[in-house]
Amino acid sequence: MPEAGGQGGEVRAYRGPEDHLQDWLVRLRLLIQRHLVLFTDRFLDSSGKASDLFASRREVEAFLAMEPPGPEVTEALQVIEDSLERFQRFMADRLAASAETGLRLPIEDLRAAFGLDDLEMDLLMALAAPDLDPGFARAYSHAWADFTRRHVDGAFLADLVAGLGPDRDRVWAALEPGSRLRRLGLVEAGVLPDQGPMTRVTERPLKVADRVVGWIRGHREPDRTVLGRAAAWYVRNDLLGDLLLPAPVRRAVQEALRRQGMDRRLRGVVLVGAVGSGRRSLALETLREQGRPLMTVRLDRLPSGQEDREGTLRGLVREALLLGAAIYLEGIEDLDRSGTGPAVLDDLFGVLEDFPGPLLVGATVSPREVLRPHGEFQEIGIPFPEVEDQQRLWERGLARTCRRPPGFPIADLVGRYSLSGGAIEACCRAVGRWAETAGAKAETLPLPVVVDIIRAQLSHRLSAVAIPVHKGEGWDDLVLPRRTLDTLREIVQFFRNRYRILHEWGLGAKLLKTPGVPCLFAGPPGTGKTMAASIIAKELGREIFQIDLSRVVDKYIGETEKNLGRAFEEGARAQAVLLFDEADSLFAKRTDVKTSVDRYANLEVNYLLQRIESYEGIAILTTNFPGSIDEAFRRRLRFFVEFPFPEEAERLLLWKTLLPPEVPVAPDLDLGEMARRYLLAGGNIRNVIIRAATLAAEANRPVDMALMVQAANTEYRAIGKLVREEIES
């Protein structure tokens, strides 16, 4: 053993981690020596001879009589205690000297990472000693007077580390299941094959996690076994130069992480942005300035069983603490949809109680509701790159992956679709694959090819709550007053130029808070509201989905909000136009709160108000009864478009527009008379023409006035109106 205390000489700093480890092993040898002196009676049988087969009668009698150690034992103990005290000072002096040199010592880094005190370090190192030096395994077997035993338990640790002193209760507390050593996965407890559920805690085998032993030995690289398939490790990002994000967003993330480090009430920072928007890259850039690596954890890849899941999470948090990493959670949206979200998040944040941060969450849509039960989170939106940056990304990506002909309308592409940098890169790679096969012989790059690739990139799952609307009409098919047509065209113009209006011209800061376009189309049935919505989507090159309210509205409290949230989330992924057709039942005026039903109905309306304002796309609500729409709701809509019932001249134009020229007609067919005689909107006129054509085809004759009148009378009855003959009779 080295001379403890550095007597008469200068204290030397540690030469390296191995030198420091050897001093720890010297300290453990002193503890074993003390143990052997304290519990000498354990090694003697009733005749006083050495034995390692049973507890001696002398030991039991001394315990029952509470006899203090004899003078010879007390004297030997004092010598060892003095040596332990001197050696502890000696190690402290060497540590202080090493700190001045900047030497990193794994054991001290372990202590600092988990905030362990001296007693916890003694327990941890005592448990690790047999894995660090096989000689300790044999020494332990002798110390507990039983060579058949192979595992350290709590009773032995209490004797070894605390002796007969007052720290024995602290040892028990430090080894309990909820203790820091056990909670953080530093110490693991097991059950031997011959032990049952009634086995005393003090007799259960304990061991230091293999990862911790490896760390003490100097293995500082991330443990791939611990990371498994649920986690990945990032130290740097080679593409940070391509990260096109506004400076205010970068500063907001820096400030949020700084706040989290000072305020433990802030559990984490949520980065919300589209796939490929640079959320993880932004986190890496910010953490690089702090000198921290990043561990990403895919929540949807965690084990399904609770016990296995908690074990995996403890290992991952332990790894992050060991290496000073931030944790970045991914896949929270998929987790919520799987139905296991609450259980997984409960387990996750239970383990994260001991993690001081930084903690980040990456999401494509706000996970505010699912995170609410777990504390305060600061949410930061990650926008798409500016229009000019998107154009630059397209130009660079297409130039690298395919032969782009001169004059390819990139500006038109950016005007139609706002994409993240990652999504643009993926689209360009897909264009490159097209160019290598079907497009290799093409002289041009057709715009429809790129549009189809973009739509495939904007994957979504709207079919669960929405129905795709496929209509082939154009502006010429709309028969509406000029003021209505002008407003519809204004919607398209605003959406195409929204980023210039909001950002370049500064209207977003003062007048318009979001680039979304919430609209209300109001008018009687059949006046063209759905057709107009589909034409707007077609003009912008976007898909349109009609929200199926029968799948959205739920009688159970809170389920309607969840379904609405899913519709907006998937709509954002698809960059689709959302159509809430005949939405009076859901978006009607809020009522006075007289019952719990009224209160929850109002909550649904309030929730919709929030979501429709934050939706960065076009959301169109249609109603047959504009007076029933809540006034507060109407104020938050950017466009209110009236679809009046058509006058006679407009009805005649509808008859002429909707009747295809290929349909054979008789000379007596008078469309002017039909327009004058029947007060029908465009949708009803379409039904009449289809009915008349069906009757004519069955009779194998052209559509004449009689068949058209017969079809119109049937439609009149279907919509609850009386026909002239019935009135006269």
Tell me which DSSP letter residue 503 carries: I
Tell me which DSSP letter residue 524 carries: S
User: Average of pLDDT values for 567-586?
Assistant: 78
Phi and psi at 667, nearest 5°, equal -60, -25
- Give the model's confidence band at 585: pLDDT under 50 very low, under 70 low, under 90 confident, else very high: low
648-728 matches 475-642 in CATH topology: no
Percent of the chain with pLDDT strictly greater than 90 = 28
CATH number assigned to the domain with residue range 475-642, chosen from the 4 options 1.20.140.10, 3.40.50.11890, 3.40.50.300, 3.40.50.970: 3.40.50.300
**Is pLDDT at 599 greater than 60 in this prediction?**
no
Tell me which DSSP letter residue 444 carries: S
The DSSP H or E segment spanning 578 is strand 577-580
**DSSP string covering 16-61, please?**
SHHHHHHHHHHHHHHHHHHHHHHTGGGGB-TTS-B-SSS--HHHHH
The DSSP H or E segment spanning 619 is strand 618-623
Question: What whole-number distance in Å separates Cα of residue 723 and Cα of residue 729?
Answer: 10
Q: What is the largest CA-CA distance in the chain?
A: 132
User: Average of pLDDT values for 67-90?
Assistant: 81
**Pair of tokens at residue 429:** 């790679």
User: Average of pLDDT values for 575-586?
Assistant: 78
**Is pLDDT at 407 greater than 80 in this prediction?**
no
Give strand ranges (E) for 343-492.
Answer: 359-363, 376-381, 466-468
Q: What SS3 class is residue 296? A: strand
* Structure confidence by residue, pLDDT tens digits, 156-206: 898 889 888 888 889 989 988 889 999 889 998 877 766 666 666 677 889
Strands across the sheet containing 266-272: 231-234, 294-298, 326-330, 359-363, 266-272, 376-381
648-728 placed in CATH 1.10.8.60: yes
- C-alpha distances (whole Å) from 172 to each of 115, 192, 424 are 18, 20, 58
**Pair of tokens at residue 40:** 């000498």
Pairing state of beta strands 205-208 and 152-153?
A: antiparallel
The DSSP H or E segment spanning 239 is none
**Is pLDDT at 708 greater than 90 in this prediction?**
yes
* Structure confidence by residue, pLDDT tens digits, 100-120: 898 999 999 999 999 999 999
* Structure confidence by residue, pLDDT tens digits, 204-240: 889 999 999 999 999 989 988 888 888 999 876 544 4
* Structure confidence by residue, pLDDT tens digits, 509-568: 556 666 678 899 999 888 999 899 999 988 888 888 888 666 666 655 566 777 777 788
pLDDT at 727: 45
Fold of 224-381: Rossmann fold (3.40.50)
**Is pLDDT at 393 greater than 80 in this prediction?**
yes
**Pair of tokens at residue 561:** 């909000």
* Structure confidence by residue, pLDDT tens digits, 21-60: 999 999 999 998 888 888 776 665 555 555 555 444 454 4
| Residue of 190 and 642 predicted with greater confidence | 642
Whether the Cβ atoms of residue 341 and residue 370 lie closer than 8 Å to each other? yes
The DSSP H or E segment spanning 711 is helix 705-718
Whether the Cβ atoms of residue 450 and residue 427 lie closer than 8 Å to each other? yes
User: Average of pLDDT values for 438-446?
Assistant: 64
Domain boundaries, the chain: 17-216, 224-381, 388-442, 475-642, 648-728
pLDDT at 455: 79
**Is pLDDT at 597 greater than 50 in this prediction?**
no
Question: What whole-number distance in Å separates Cα of residue 427 and Cα of residue 406?
Answer: 19
Which pTM was predicted?
0.69
- Give the model's confidence band at 606: pLDDT under 50 very low, under 70 low, under 90 confident, else very high: low
**The Cα angle at residue 177 between residues 261 and 208, in degrees rounded to 5:** 80
Please state the length of the chain.
729
